[in-house]
């Protein structure tokens, strides 16, 4: 499972000209599910993301987590994070889980994130064409891969 974390001043997801999810100060998470992912990947990523100290404290030092800050989180499924570009010019998505596997795991990820934060986590619409708008704050963008934690 791969997650791109973007610290944002605001973010929203629009489907068919309707905003389906939006947050202010917090994290936009782009989530890609691979066919070998499971509950242990979700647990690792939720723990890592919610404890990651990327918000500034009173001295301007990145010393606070999304939990400390009580910030919001918006999750958007994005299978293209599993793209392989090793051969040719057309990315291969063979490592991405099929929708019947990816959707339940994405939903479990969102539910685990919501439980950890103690509040609802808005999302995009799985499988839909989405327009994601954001104002990056920092900018701070971090890539996490549950298969190669660092």
Q: Which residues are annotated as catalytic?
A: 78-80
Residue found by looking up tokens 């010019």 in the block: 89
139 touches 11 (CB < 8 A): no
Q: Where are the alpha helices (DSSP H) in 7-131?
A: 39-51, 66-69, 99-117
């Amino acid at each position: 499972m791969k997650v791109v974390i973007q610290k944002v001043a605001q973010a929203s997801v629009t489907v068919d000209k309707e905003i389906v999810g939006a947050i202010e100060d917090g994290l936009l998470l782009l989530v890609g599910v691979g066919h070998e992912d499971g509950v242990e990947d979700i647990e690792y990523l939720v723990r890592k993301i919610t404890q990651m100290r990327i918000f500034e404290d009173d001295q301007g030092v990145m010393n606070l987590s999304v939990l400390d800050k009580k910030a919001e989180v918006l999750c958007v499924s994005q299978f293209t994070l599993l793209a392989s570009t090793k051969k040719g010019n057309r990315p291969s998505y063979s490592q991405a889980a099929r929708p019947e596997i990816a959707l339940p795991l994405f939903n479990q990820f969102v539910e685990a994130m919501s439980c950890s934060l103690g509040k609802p986590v808005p999302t995009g619409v799985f499988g839909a064409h989405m327009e994601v708008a954001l104002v990056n704050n920092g900018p701070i963008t971090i890539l996490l891969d549950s298969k190669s934690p660092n």
